[in-house]
A and B are shown apart, each in its own frame.
Chain A
Amino acid sequence: MRRSVVLWLAVGWVGLAVLPWYAIEDGFWNFAWLDSYPVDSDVGPALLQGLGHGRWWLLPVCLALAAPLGILGRWKTDPWFAAVLLMAGGFGLAYTLAQGFAIGIRGWEFEALETAFGELGDRQFGMGYGAVLVCGAFLFFLTEGIAARGAIKGDVFVVGSIGLVIALVAAFIFFPITRILISAVQDNDENFAPALFFTKLFSGDIWGLECLTANLTCGVAWNSLFMAILVGAGTTAMGLAFALIATRTGFRAKKLLRVLTVLPIITPPFVIGLAVILLFGRSGAVSTFLEWAFAIEPSRWIYGLPGIWLAQMLAFTPIAFLVLIGVVEGISPAMEEAAITLRADTWRTFVTVSLPLMRPGLANAFLLGFIESLADFGNPMVLGGDYDVLSIEIFFAIVGAQHDQSRAAVLAIVLLAFTLSAFYAQRRWLGRKSYATITGKGDSGLHMHLPRRLKILSYGTALPWAALTAVIYCTIMFGGFVESWGRDHGFTLRHYLEAFSVTTGAHGLVWSGAAWNSFWTTLEIAAISAPLTAGIGLLTAYILVRQRFVGKDAFEFGTMLSFAIPGTVIGIGYILAFNVPPIELTGTGVILVICFMFRNMPVGVRAGIAAMSQIDQSLDEASLTLGARSFTTLRKIVLPLLRPAIIAALVFSFVRAMTAISAVIFLVSANYDMATSYILGRVENSDFGLAIAYSSVLILVMLCAIVLIQVAVGQRRLGRRGAQQFGLEGSTG
């Protein structure tokens, strides 16, 4: 008998017989329920509920949890050991979920069950501590059984980790998406209505092409697609210009360009849109200047396609730059040097050698820009005007006057189809087609300088753009100190005081500013979700890099999928999925933490994969053959070598949790309001002063966090040998 089985058995029985089975009102950390425990039928453990409160459907759960008691004392090589665990875990998990879905707050959820078993006369709430522990125990019985059958070298820890990741991804990514699909084919009273689905799917407001023939707007799908293509192409071109300047010219301020790459990470997406309004809006600085100088009547031209495009270009160009600088640097100088020695001049070398080698990278950058633009919520929200895009329409279908859940679901499906196609294209078509030719071996040589005309072109586009970016960020930093933008440019601290004032009251300090509440909530949620995100991301990376198993490709696709799911879609999915039992989470802080965990998981996975591929696998293997189990190996060998990646993953997930808006806006509640949604609310009320002040504070906080971490990581790298040392030489045979 393995100790881990005993452990999970104990955990399961605690969940079944001690802790409340159902979710407790008033939040996860509220312990008021202890007063009425365990007599009250709402807070009793499952065993008591089943025997005492007439909730007989909980009793089979006890049976499944009792079964493994029978194999205590058996060896894991005993065939009964695996069989009993597999059956107990499989049945227990399936049954617990089935009863959760079958019986909800109105009794039976399905008419067929009602006719079969008669009226229930009872109901149940979402799952609580007890149910979570019991489900966990069942899950690990299942994986323990699979490991005992010899899967993945019989490694209990690895099989368990894979099981855990699959279960979590299924619950918090696939389940919500499935709920959207179901909701789309239902009418708003949850009746099956496929005809309505097709009417909605092919309706004119989604696919209409009136803009081609008359002076009308096209369908939202075309609008979104058109915008995404424009932004994808624009950011790719601009990113390439920056990348070429950074790597192939004698440009002095290259370090400044690197700073540019940090900006989108720490900037909440809609803040750029806000700054664009402050510059080009009706009372914006530029518009006012143009009126004064050339008597050009200020108009609302910026609201709509031009504004969104400009804001998204500003927001996403750094992402394209980040991708392309790697690509441009990755082309071995030897290729270009070979072309030049073969008598090609620099222009011909660039066109015939360098550019074709960059092609996969360019396509990659385009698709990233495309996906980001489609998924962007904040900028269209503040700058959209009459130009409707999918992400905004989804939001208004849910929260607006229409309150049309199934329309929201249909729009979400269309949006998801676009982003997933792009994601799929990126992975299948480009994933393996990389021409990055730098190897670990010393490949000396210098990148050639750009041909003259290309250099002029690059400088001509990139430098004005960099200047515009600088102006935008100045606007953000100084906008908060202006009385009323566009009308009264007097200096004031009013907005900062309104948001962040602290007074001394009877009981000491009082955080009386309007923003403190959402500010602390944001910090708290981000701080809780960051380690969880990094943890699950790195665990997934470990599984992906170090283990081989059947279905690994599907596993990888599933874990990276959430990158391609727009936040609005996740938001809708979470509302639909987690508003009712068995998993009832809306209105809590937990749902925000979970949302961030799974939205940002790909970041952690990628950081982990990149770092772990640098560590020679034979280090793990050496540890295993020296008698350390895989968990010990992970703890003693892999994690210490991964420290920089862990820190990077922590920072990224922390910062992204602070800047996210699209999914958050669906999930915030009175108790848990996030900074971004609070700011967006202010923007909707045209309270730009406070919004911009708050935004600049957020940016500064995150900048400090990043700089602190960079300093810490940087020192470590100086103190010991560089990361390359860990790679040693690979072995083949």
Chain B
Amino acid sequence: MTTKSTAASVRFQSVVKAFGEVVAVRDLNFTIEPGSLVTLLGPSGCGKTTTLRLIAGLEMSTSGKILIGALEVTKLPASERDVCMVFQSYALFPHMTVLENVAYGLSVSGMPKAEAHAKAEQQLALVGLKGFGARLPSELSGGQQQRVAVARALILEPEVLLFDEPLSNLDAKLRRHVRQEICDLQRSLGLTTVYVTHDQEEALAVSDRIIVMRNAEIAQTGTPHELYEEPADLFVADFIGDANVVTGEIKALDGALAVVDIGGVERRLPHRGLPPGEVDVAIRPEAIHLSRERVDDSLSGTVSKATYLGSHLEYSVETPLGELFVIDHRVDGFAPPGTTVSVVMADRGVTLVGSG
């Protein structure tokens, strides 16, 4: 990965944004490294779009400091920040041609028209839309409009590039493709990029780091791997991937590990600073194996629902811990409802996430 010379870091220091009584963002602190792609992920209403708009200067923070590179931009209006944004709706100007749209940023900053248009042509070629310049945005398909929006943002070579749910208006197949294109473009240009989405799969696929938000606050920050393997709490465990949450008990601590009793089965797991006593345990659905034979150190359960999904099977299993959701990739071993099974937990994918 190359890091472009203009790419800048983004730093939030105790940033608060309130709309009247409603707090949209509460005491936000984070740093985004130059040239990295960071995703803001969370359910709708968690403050992720507000955070993005705070970076862009489309909202002004109620308190706190925002820095882009070394420059404090807290009170600078959007037009004076070196930041470009790709909007969810693309926001292409309907009364301008594609070329005029792409050249807009250059022409309002005073570049002669001919030069701006020439540069816009190049930019269009870069996103694979050579020859589309004379069309109106409404004459393009959704995917093409999306590329125009990206070209329009890239042409100014901003210090920071922002994406607000850029894939949400595309159909599922196209989404995977465009996702990869954005990723490649970002890597090759080495731009600092902030990306908002509520789709955890999208976030896992594109991000260097993910900031998971909940109720106006950061729930956890980390690489995709860290978030999936070591979720900080129930919310993150459940939001990123699926998780069965069951109650266990920490019997004793042993170095970095804890001896945990989960429904009568004893396991040794990283204790992550938790004290002995009752604890919540997140178990990934693919970390549970079902076996028709009796196995030691397992729970006994009964299949209550079984669904065939081609690439894998999904089971609901009644156990003493409650109903567990299980994904099984061995499609040939279909167990019909009513089957009595042994439930075995794998070593990975079982995490202590604290209590309550």
Q: Are A623 and B44 in contact (CB under 8 A)?
A: no
B76 and A154 within 8 A (CB): yes
Contact A625 B83 (CB under 8 A): yes
Is there contact, CB below 8 Å, between B94 and A726? Answer: yes
Say which residue of A618, A629, A721, A729 sits within 8 Å of B79 (CB atoms): A629
Query: In this assembly, does B114 line the interface, its C-beta being within 8 Å of a C-beta of chain A?
Result: no
Q: Digitize A637-661: 1 where CB-to-B-CB distance is under 8 Å, 0 elsewhere.
A: 1001100000000000000000000
CB distance from A144 to the nearest CB of B (A): 14
> Would you call B90 an interface residue if the criterion is a C-beta within 8 Å of the partner chain's C-beta atoms?
yes
Range class of the A interface residue count:
20 to 34
24 pairs of residues in contact across A and B, judged by CB atoms under 8 Å: A150-B60, A154-B77, A155-B77, A618-B87, A621-B58, A621-B91, A622-B85, A622-B92, A622-B152, A624-B57, A625-B83, A625-B153, A626-B84, A626-B108, A627-B108, A628-B79, A629-B79, A630-B77, A720-B95, A721-B94, A721-B138, A725-B138, A731-B89, A732-B44
- Report whether B164 and A150 are in contact in the complex, using a CB–CB cutoff of 8 Å: no
**A153-B60, A641-B95, A733-B49 given; A623·B104 CB < 8 A:** yes
Residues of chain B lying within 8 A (CB to CB) of residue A150:
60, 75
Any B CB within 8 A of the CB of A53: no
CB of A483 within 8 Å of the partner chain: no
| Contact A624/B60 with A154-B76, A731-B165, A733-B165 known, Cβ cut-off 8 Å | no
Residues of B within 8 A of A640 (CB): 95
Supposing A624-B58, A628-B104, A733-B164 touch, asked if A619 and B93 sit within 8 A by C-beta, the answer is yes
Residues 86-115 of B, flagged 1 when their CB comes within 8 A of A and 0 if not, give 011111111100000000110011000000
Give the shortest distance, in Å, between B284 (CB) and chain A (any CB): 28
Whole-angstrom CA separation of A616 from B169 in the bound complex: 15
Known A-B contacts A730-B89, A732-B44, A733-B48; the reply to A627 vs B75 at CB < 8 A is no
In whole angstroms, how far apart are the Cα atoms of A655 and B88 in the complex? 42
Shortest Cβ distance from residue A720 to the other chain B in the assembled complex, whole angstroms: 8
Beta-carbon contacts under 8 Å, B117-173 to A:
136, 138, 152-153, 156, 162, 164-165, 169
Q: Which residues A673-728 have CB closer than 8 A to chain B?
A: 720-721, 725-726, 728
Residues on A with C-beta less than 8 A from B94 are 619, 641, 721, 725-726, 728
Q: What's the least CB distance linking A726 to chain B, in Å? A: 5
- The chain A residue with its CB closest to the CB of B42 is A733
Within 8 A of B (CB), among A3-20: none
Q: Check if B58 sits within 8 Å of A625, measured CB to CB.
A: yes
With most chain A CB atoms within 10 A of its CB, the pick from B56, B81, B90, B169 is B90
Chain B residue numbers with a CB within 8 Å of A720 are 95
Query: Which residues from 228 to 273 on chain B have a C-beta closer than 8 Å to any C-beta of chain A?
Result: none
Known: A616-B89, A728-B89. A625 touches B57 (CB 8 A): yes
Contact A624 B78 (CB under 8 A): yes
> How far is it, in angstroms, between the C-alpha of A431 and the C-alpha of B132 when the chains are bound?
46
Majority-rule SS of B interface residues: loop
Please determine whether B108 and A632 come into contact, CB atoms closer than 8 angstroms: yes
CB distance from A730 to the nearest CB of B (A): 7
Q: Does B196 contact A (CB under 8 A)?
A: yes
- Interface residue ranges, B against A (CB under 8 Å): 44, 48-50, 52, 56-60, 75-81, 83-85, 87-95, 104-105, 108-109, 136, 138, 152-153, 156, 162, 164-165, 169, 196, 198
Interface 1/0 per residue, A233-268 and B, CB below 8 Å: 000000000000000000000000000000000000
Known A627-B105, A729-B89; further 12 A-B contacts with Cβ < 8 A: A153-B57, A153-B60, A616-B91, A626-B105, A627-B109, A721-B94, A728-B91, A729-B169, A730-B89, A732-B49, A733-B88, A733-B165
> In the complex, A647 Cα to B217 Cα: how many Å?
47
CA distance A731 to B156 in the complex (A): 24
Chain A residues lying within 8 Å of B59, measured Cβ to Cβ, are 153
Q: Is the CB of A153 within 8 A of B78?
A: yes
In the complex, are the beta carbons of A731 and B44 less than 8 A apart? no
Most chain B CB inside 10 Å of its own CB: which residue of A627, A637, A725? A627
Select one of B79, B88, B89 contacting A627, CB under 8 A: B79
CB neighbours of A154 from chain B (8 A): 60, 75-77
> A77 at interface (Cβ–Cβ under 8 A)?
yes
Q: How far is the CA of A142 from the CA of B196 in the complex (A)?
A: 38
Indicate if A403 sits at the interface (CB-CB under 8 A).
no
Q: Which residue of B lies closest to A625 (CB)?
A: B85
Residues of chain A within 8 A of B76, CB atoms compared: 154
Of A155, A625, A636, A730, the residue contacting B84 (CB under 8 A) is A625
Shortest distance in angstroms between A617's beta carbon and chain B's nearest beta carbon? 9
Closest Cβ neighbor of B81 among chain A residues? A625
Distance in Å: Cβ of B193 to nearest Cβ of chain A: 14
Chain A's nearest CB lies how many Å from the CB of B170? 12
- A-side contacts of B58, CB under 8 Å: 153, 621, 624-625
A77 to B75, CA, bound (A): 9
State A721–B92 Cα separation when bound (angstroms).
15
- Residues of chain A with a CB closer than 8 A to B90's CB: 728
> Which residue of chain A lies nearest to B52 when distances are taken between CB atoms in the complex?
A733
Contacts of A632 in B (CB 8 A): 108
A630 and B79 within 8 A (CB): yes
- Docked complex Cα distance between A513 and B80 (Å): 61
What's the minimum C-beta distance from A490 to chain B, rounded to whole angstroms? 58
Q: Which residues of A contact B88 (CB under 8 A)?
A: 618, 729, 731, 733
Q: Who on chain A is nearest to B105 by CB?
A: A626
In angstroms, Cα B53 to Cα A618, docked, is 11
A622 to B56, CA, bound (A): 10
Do the beta carbons of B156 and A626 come within 8 Å of each other? yes
A621 touches B78 (CB 8 A): yes
Query: Separation in Å of the B266 CB from the closest CB of chain A?
Result: 44
Closest 3 CB pairs of A and B: A733-B49, A626-B105, A622-B91
B79: A residues at CB distance < 8 A: 624-625, 627-630
Determine which residue in B76, B91, B136, B196 has the highest number of CB atoms from chain A within 10 A of its CB, and name it: B91
Measured CA separation A721–B136 after assembly (Å): 10
Of A619, A629, A721, the residue contacting B91 (CB under 8 A) is A619
Q: How far is the CB of A81 from chain B (nearest CB, A)?
A: 12
Complex: how many Å from CA A624 to CA B105? 9
Question: What is the CB-to-nearest-CB distance from B124 to chain A, in angstroms, rounded to a whole number?
Answer: 16
Chain B residue numbers with a CB within 8 Å of A731 are 49, 87-89, 164-165
Which chain A residues (571-617) contact chain B, with CB distance < 8 Å? 616
Q: Which residues of B contact A721 (CB under 8 A)?
A: 94, 136, 138
Of A150, A626, A636, A637, most buried by chain B (CB within 10 Å of CB) is A626
Q: Which of A124-154 contact B (CB under 8 A)?
A: 150, 153-154
**Would you give the shortest CB distance from B237 to chain A, in whole angstroms?**
23
Cα A254 to Cα B105 with chains together (Å): 48
Shortest C-beta distance, A718 to chain B (Å), equals 15
- Cβ contact within 8 Å between A624 and B87: no
Query: Distance in Å from the Cβ of A500 to the closest Cβ of chain B?
Result: 43
* Measured CA separation A721–B95 after assembly (Å): 10
Which A residues are CB-close (under 8 A) to B87?
618, 621-622, 731
Specify which chain B residues have a CB less than 8 angstroms from the CB of A637 in the assembled complex. 93
Q: How far is the CA of A732 from the CA of B76 in the complex (A)?
A: 24
- In the complex, what's the smallest C-beta–C-beta distance from B273 to chain A, in angstroms? 33
Nearest-neighbour CB distance to chain B for A160, whole angstroms, equals 14
**Nearest-neighbor residue (CB-CB) of B165 within chain A:** A733
Q: Which residue of B lies closest to A631 (CB)?
A: B79
Q: Give the Cβ gap from A554 to chain B, nearest Cβ, in Å.
A: 15
Task: Say how far B90's CB is from chain A's closest CB, in angstroms.
Answer: 7
Which A residues touch B56, using CB under 8 A? 621, 625
**Across-interface contacts of A618 in B (CB, < 8 A):** 87-89, 91
With the chains together, A436 CA to B350 CA distance in Å? 52
Cβ of A732: which chain B residues have Cβ within 8 Å of it?
44, 49
Which residues of chain B have C-beta atoms less than 8 A from A77's C-beta? Answer: 75
The winner among A155, A618, A641 for most chain B CB atoms within 10 A is: A618
Contacts of B80 in A (CB 8 A): 627
Residues of chain A lying within 8 A (CB to CB) of residue B93: 619, 622-623, 637
Chain B contacts of A619 at CB under 8 A?
Answer: 91, 93-94
| Interchain CA distance A637-B101 in the complex, whole Å | 11
List of A residues within 8 angstroms of B196 by Cβ: 733
* Chain B nearest Cβ from A3, distance in angstroms: 14
